[in-house]
Structure 1
């Protein structure tokens, strides 16, 4: 129902020939109930007058006023004094007076406006006695006023001096509005406004010569443009177009153009002399960024309450020069001069690039569900070229998953696929990576490649597919208190279009085609050439496509030790069987897993004010996990059997391995004390404090001393403490881990958030001890150094034992600090600031990125416009764009 229905009702009432009777018969045949304290008809003047609690009522419409007059000769109707109208579809109006000319279909209003109501029934609106009571009812998505309104057709009107607010503002004066000198309105379809101006309070902030607004809940039309500028891509402008395809489907097309970032100056010493007079100065485009037109399409669907999804597709023609995909810094190809790379870059355009994503969830019935969460890009540099944020630019892969599963209380069965796109390098995924003609590749650290060569890209391993059957633990019949469960999983790990990874000697793809001794070797070696990488042959330490069947049954029980403790022993078994898809070799590995949990709890409860009940609990616990060894071994690397083990994922590396791939026995333990404070008031239960302090133990250490690999003995693992707290507007947490053997902190993390709705302050700090890049380049295990929580495998309680202990020089600290604030100021203004700091030490300018946003939104908060500035390290400030958030736009809003 349109916001102008009240006018139609006024015309309907006023065009009647009203006799002096309680019931009035209209020309349309409809009967109107007329009631007032006094009704008089002057026959000579043909004027009907009703005064005092005047009420005109039909089945679903009501008009109330202090006085109503109708001039039958002049065909003019007037309602004055506390005028209020209620109609179907949530339509309502209040005014001081309304004057309607029946012949011209014009209405003049004084001191009034129309409202669209929701969240309130028609019966409740009809029962309202005063305009104030009507205005306060429910929510008000639309408020509209105009000085003169003329009907031009059955469902169309022309409105002069239009002013309206299409959002859920309060019933009083809204803090913002749109005004126009004239508007052409078609009920339930659209409104076209001439010279519309957006006012905030009484200040004009935005004007257009013409504006089209849909007046239906889902109406096709233009959305708000998205301008932005950055040093990465220069100025860009995108214009979304919304297209509705019915109540359950819609699309948004967003054409846009990126002007491209600026040029950078580079000085070249082309003769290799100290004399700078003959140096060349060239201006090259920036390595990262795009230039050209893009079309981004988004399709959304909700065909039923059990299914929904979104599909996006973006196509970009990038005219920026091509780059060497092997270089993570994106070096340009250069023209050959006398057989060597010269100063000028190859200007061949990168051409078509794109992105796609699909999110889908559906309930199929009978406990079956499916889910898709997929994202892909055309090349590894696509995200870095379009994203200025330094955090998002550091992502190393995109992950896509799809699953079909049945979930019940006593059964889980599922089929899933998991794909990863390696975006560390700039390789194309769907077309050849050809070196341009007449190009020389003199990128430092990379071997020369002849023009026209198709550069081999890494072959990322995927889960194609995985099948899981799980029986959750439940009481076992006839076994007296035992519970048991079973998990069986089949997995195929393989590249998408190949049967092996072709990584070469070390089993790791390296663009520079150098190999290192593997991390499990006795003495890590130096970089050596790797002729086996990308040679198209399954040899060396190439990873082959592998099938694995994993069995994991488990039984447990629990019993009390008097009134003070509980013991929960468990026994499990993991059995894995592998088959190589290329070699045909079969491996198996199995081991038992014994677990024991001893825990207790002491609690104190007391009552506080206002009926609050408090509970403080201290819960000490000791958890042990023992694996005595096992049988079989993890598959070896490459085409030659009997080599070192080559685990692919967390299941392959679930326990520490010996150099020949057999399971290393271990006994791990964690001794911890938990404290919690909880309080309950009514049905509200909160936990303002939780503290966990613990110590990890490796009680059967093996081979930790290089001088005596057979040495056994207990050793302390991480000492840790974890805290979470909340009080009113404050939430905070922290974690610390210490390696008592070296005295080094392996992890320090802390975060807090203070938010009272108008102001917020937040921060997060992380400090991790990790394996250094230099050690990784020499083949070290990425999980060799760090906190137990990072290095922990599936079947262990603390970090895996090392094959080759690494010294302190092989470790480095990675520190990150993110802090920010959000403020809501007066008159709807808002400001936010965020700083990303990395590293915190050994850098004169550790601020990697600062973001400042200044925004405005009305009191109803139905929309907010924010301008964003970004300052990155060693760069000039740049305007990052305008963010527009829209929520609750009554009859034509998109939500959000």
Structure 2
């Protein structure tokens, strides 16, 4: 419904319905009913006068006024005093007086206010007796006024001194409005405003010489421009254009341009054979034009989706994919001096794409797609200044088709990962420019000109098929279930990963000998990486079938406890697609859960009932051992090479959580275990009427590895039981406050493995304060390429495997960098101030961070400051964002505009 329909209908239809008798036919041929306290017709002047409670009705439209006059000779109608109009579609209007010339279709009004109503019936609006009663009814998503309106066509009008507020601001004085000297309006299509000005209260804040506005729920047109400025990409301006393709499809095209960030001295290199050091210039971010395309579709209530495609032509110089800021150089000779200049041309075409799709296929079948892709690994870091986003190492895309019933699940899925740790391209070869000069960087030199870099080959799930028969009664209390899964873990190109000697990809084709020690020396060349031959520890494509049946039951031990034993078997079979080898591994899995509960209830004030529960539990899981082996990596029969035993190496190489579901021996066989977790849960809840809440929950527990041989990395066996994590988790809520915390402590090493806490205070009126702190003990990143297990250190939630209750013992291999502590604090606040102003602040802090060169403590990593304004109705809010990153100049992060309930302009944001 157009926001100008009330205006046109009120002035050009209803005001023309002047009464001549109880039933009157207008010049337009319409018939109206007239009712008034007094009606007089002056025949000599051809003037009709109606006074006192005047009402004119035509079906579903009504005009009321204190007095109505119609000059038949001049065809001019006038309504004065408490003028109010009600029409179909929620149209309503009130005015002090209205004068309409029926020949020119021009109307002049005083004190006019037109409204589009919502949430109220036509019958209720027709029953309103006064303008004040009509204005207070229902919701008012559109408020509009003007001084003169002239009809120029069947659905076209010219409005002078237009002022409107297209949102639910209440029928009184809105806190904001748009004014224009004149407007050309086509009902249900568009409005073209001349010199529009946006007023907040009575203050003009934004003006344009011309503005096009769509006047329908889905109408093509320009959206709000998106300016931004940062040291990463300089000044950028994007202009979205919305194009509707019918009621269920639309496209948004967003052309834009990035001017490019500043250039900074960053890296020191030198020319081989020359002792002259040079400073490399870092060309930040991107520079050039970009076009973003977003296509949305909702063809039915069961199907919806969104596709995006972004293309950028980057004018920045091409760079080494192994270094985020690495450049190629060429040598210049000027006046006998050797200097270096940037080599190679522009980076060229880059881009991104994504697809989100959900569909209900009927019969319990559904499908879902969540996919994202970038042209090269540096693309996300080049386009965003946010520290957290820049730390992503993989992009994950998934697609599923599944049927979910009450007793079973059947699904087909595909999962793809895109490695973005380095800058390798995915649709073109990364070659060293022909005019480049090899410049050494530390211990590694750049590859000679025209050489090609080969990036990592990532394993994908192509595809996976899962059948799960949920637990169901078999005999008596005995329950049974079954899970069968087929999965193919393979790279997209070829049948193996081509990682080389150590099953790890290194951008410099280097590796560290197994169990590196300082005496063994540093990195060694890995000639087998990216050689295109399946050898050494290359990861090959594998097909696997996982078979997991289980039985369970439950019975009471009198009124004191409940016992729930279970028995399962996991059997896996693998086939190597390149080697043709087969492997199998299986083991039984027994479990026992004993739990109880003691509850105390009492009554409080105002009919409140309180309940405190104490629930101890003991869970035990046992695997006596198993049969078979998890597959190892690489080809066989290659003989010995330096630092590597490349024969039939039995060392297992798990690919995913199912491969590594239990502890493994060095030959890939299953290591038996007996695990237990003893825990006590306490809750405090209350019930007040129909309101039931649980404001406090506390869980205390202790993990045990009761195995005769406890698995410890680097040792064949260790006798006796071992304590694992001691843990406590707390969650609490009271009024506007919610909070929680968790701690895990290793009694064997006497170290805190995890400490996490968070709280949130939100009054629901625009004011909030929140924070989250995490402290983890973890394997040092520098120890991983030297052979350390990434999961060797940390809390049980990190160390434990799929079918275990606790993790293996924390272990730091001799000669490798020790464990390190990672800490992160995210804290922020948002406030709504007077006059619609809002402010938000968020800080990302790394308390232990030190500058790698100066060793200076610099914990404050990133700060985000936002200043916003929105009207009292909160139908829209515009925000400017400032980002301050460590060791960087402040950056203007752009303007965010969120829109909701914005009348005929749509909703969302």
TM-score, scaled to structure 2: 0.94
Give the secondary structure class of the aligned counterpart of 1:637.
coil
CA distance in 1, matches of 2:14, 2:711: 95
Q: Give how far 1:435 is off.
A: 1.3
Change (3 A) 1:17 1:261: closer
Q: 1:632, CA displacement in angstroms?
A: 0.4
> In terms of mean alpha carbon deviation, does 439-448 or 299-308 score higher?
439-448
Q: How does 1:160-559 map to 2 (within 5 A)?
A: 160-265=160-265, 284-286=281-283, 288-327=284-323, 329-335=324-330, 343-439=340-436, 440=438, 442-476=440-474, 479-518=475-514, 527-559=523-555
Q: Deviations over 1:231-251 (max 9, x none)?
A: 000000000000000110000
Aligned-pair distance for 1:265?
3.4
CA–CA distance in 2 between the matches of 1:267 and 1:555?
A: 62
Distance in 2 (alpha carbons) for counterparts of 1:854 and 1:634: 56
Matches of 1:77 and 1:484, distance apart in 2: 84
Q: Residue 575 of structure 1 contacts residue 588 of structure 1 at CA under 8 Å; is this kept in 2? A: yes
**Residues 703, 803 of structure 1: 8 Å contact kept:** no
Deviation at 1:447, TM superposition (A): 4.4
Paired residues of 2:712 and 2:809 also in contact (CA < 8 A): no
Q: Paired residue for 1:792?
A: 800
CA contact (8 A) 1:15 1:75 kept: no
Q: Is the 8 A contact 1:14 1:102 kept in 2?
A: no
What SS does structure 2 have at the residue aligned with 1:391? helix
Q: For 1:627-660, what per-residue CA distance to the aligned partner results, in whole angstroms no more than 9, with x for missing partners?
A: 1100001001111245211100110001000000
Report the Cα offset of residue 871 of structure 1. Answer: 1.0
Which residue number corresponds to residue 886 of structure 2?
873
Q: Which residue of 1 aligns with 2:64?
A: 64
1:592–1:43 Cα change, 3 Å:
same
Q: Which residue of 1 aligns with 2:752?
A: 745
Q: 1:316 to 1:109 in 2, by over 3 A?
A: same
Following the alignment from structure 2 to structure 1, what is the Cα–Cα distance between the partners of residues 463 and 338? Answer: 46
Q: Give distance in 2, aligned partners of 1:856 and 1:68.
A: 44
The residue aligned with 1:601 is 597
Deviation at 1:556, TM superposition (A): 0.5
Q: Alignment partner of 2:397: what SS?
A: strand
- C-alpha separation between the residues in 1 aligned to 2:663 and 2:445? 37
Is the contact between residue 168 and residue 860 of structure 1 (CA under 8 Å) also seen in structure 2? Answer: yes
Q: Residues 120 and 441 (structure 1 numbering): CA distance in 2 closer, same or farther, change over 3 Å?
A: farther
Query: Secondary structure of the residue that 1:153 maps to in structure 2?
Result: coil
Deviation at 1:154, TM superposition (A): 1.5
- The answer to whether the Cα contact below 8 Å between 2:511 and 2:785 also exists between their aligned partners in 1 is no
Native 8 Å contact 1:446 1:511 kept in 2? no
The alpha carbon displacement at 1:368 in A equals: 0.5
Shift of 1:27: 3.4
Given that 1:792 and 1:798 are in contact with CA atoms closer than 8 Å, whether structure 2 keeps it comes out as yes
Structure 1 residue 36: Cα displacement: 1.6
Q: In the alignment, what sits opposite 2:659?
A: 652
Structure 1 gap ranges (5+): none
CA distance in 2, matches of 1:115, 1:488: 62
Please tell me whether the aligned partners of residues 150 and 158 of structure 2 are also in contact (alpha carbons under 8 angstroms).
Answer: yes
C-alpha offsets along residues 68-104 of structure 1, whole Å, 9 cap, x if unaligned?
1212223221112221111111111111211212222
Deviations 1:492-542 (A, max 9, x none): 000011100011111010112112245799x99853221111111111011
Q: Distance in 2 between matches of 1:840 and 1:308?
A: 45
Aligned ranges 1:711-860 → 2 under 5 Å: 711-756=718-763, 757-800=765-808, 810-840=818-848, 842=850, 843-860=856-873
Q: Which residue of 1 aligns with 2:609?
A: 613
**Residue 578 (str. 1) matches residue 586 (str. 2):** no
What is the distance in 1 between the residues matched to 2:665 and 2:809?
A: 9
Aligned partners of 1:267, 1:817: CA distance in 2, in Å? 30
**1:883 matched to which residue of 2?**
896
> Once the 2 structures are TM-superposed, how far is the Cα of residue 29 of structure 1 from its aligned partner?
3.5
Distance apart, 1:51 and its partner CA: 1.9
RMSD between aligned alpha carbons? 2.4
Give the drift of 1:42.
2.0
Deviations 1:361-384 (A, max 9, x none): 000000110000000000000000
Larger CA deviation: 164-173 vs 746-755: 164-173
CA shift for structure 1 position 40: 1.8
- Give the direction of change, closer, same or farther, for the CA distance of 1:704–1:306 in structure 2 (3 Å limit): closer
| Alignment CA distance shift 1:472-1:516 (3 Å) | same
**Matched position secondary structure for 2:60:** coil
Which secondary structure does the structure 2 equivalent of 1:385 belong to? helix
Q: 1:733 is paired with a residue of what secondary structure?
A: strand
**CA 1:486–1:460: 2 relative to 1, 3 Å:** same
2:269–2:280 Cα contact (<8 Å) kept? no
2:18 and 2:56 in contact (8 A); partners too: no
Distance 1:115 1:708 in 2: 80
Structure-2 change in CA distance of 1:769 and 1:291 (3 Å): same
Distance 1:99 1:545, change over 3 A: same
DSSP 3-state at the match of 1:713? coil
Task: Give the match for residue 31 of structure 1.
Answer: 31
| 8 A contact 1:631–1:662 mirrored in 2 | yes
Deviates more, 1:112-121 or 1:736-745: 112-121
Cα distance change of structure 1 residues 482 and 416 upon mapping to structure 2, 3 Å threshold: same
In terms of mean alpha carbon deviation, does 489-498 or 882-891 score higher? Answer: 882-891
Structure-2 change in CA distance of 1:829 and 1:399 (3 Å): same
Answer whether contact 1:788 1:799 (CA < 8 A) is retained.
yes
Q: Within 1, Cα distance between the matches of 2:819 and 2:812?
A: 14
Find the aligned partners of 1:672 and 1:441 in 2 and give their Cα distance: 60
Structure 1 residue 672 displacement after superposition: 0.6
Cα-to-partner distance string for 1:150-186 (whole Å, 9 max, x where unaligned) = 1111211111111001112111111000001111111
Instruction: Identify the range of structure 1 (121-130 vs 652-661) with the bigger mean alpha-carbon deviation.
Output: 121-130
Shift of 1:8: 3.4
DSSP 3-state at the match of 1:89 = helix
Question: What is the deviation of 1:17?
Answer: 6.8
Count of residue correspondences: 887
Distance 2:269 2:553 in 1: 76
CA contact (8 A) 1:670 1:694 kept: yes
1:124 alignment partner in structure 2: 124
Aligned-residue offset at 1:826: 0.2
The 1-side partners of 2:551 and 2:521 are apart by: 45
Asked whether the equivalents of residues 47 and 72 of structure 1 are also in contact (C-alpha less than 8 Å), the reply is yes
Q: What displacement does 1:274 show?
A: 13
1:675 is aligned, of 655, 671, 682, to 682
Question: Structure 2 vs 1, CA of residues 583 and 677 (structure 1 numbering), >3 Å: closer, same or farther?
Answer: same
1:666 to 653, 673, 693: 673
CA contact (8 A) 1:483 1:555 kept: yes
Are the equivalent residues in 2 in contact too, given 1:100–1:107 (CA < 8 A)?
A: yes
CA deviation vs aligned residue, 1:470-502 (integer Å, no higher than 9, x gap): 0111111xx210111100000000001110001
- Cα shift at 1:25: 2.2
User: CA distance change for structure 1 residues 250 and 172 in 2, over 3 Å: closer, same or farther?
Assistant: same
CA contact (8 A) 1:7 1:107 kept: no
Residues 712 and 808 of structure 2 are in contact (CA less than 8 Å); yes or no, is this contact kept in structure 1? no
Of 796-805 and 302-311, more deviation after overlay is shown by 796-805
**Cα gap change, 1:268/1:392 in structure 2, threshold over 3 Å: closer, same or farther?**
closer
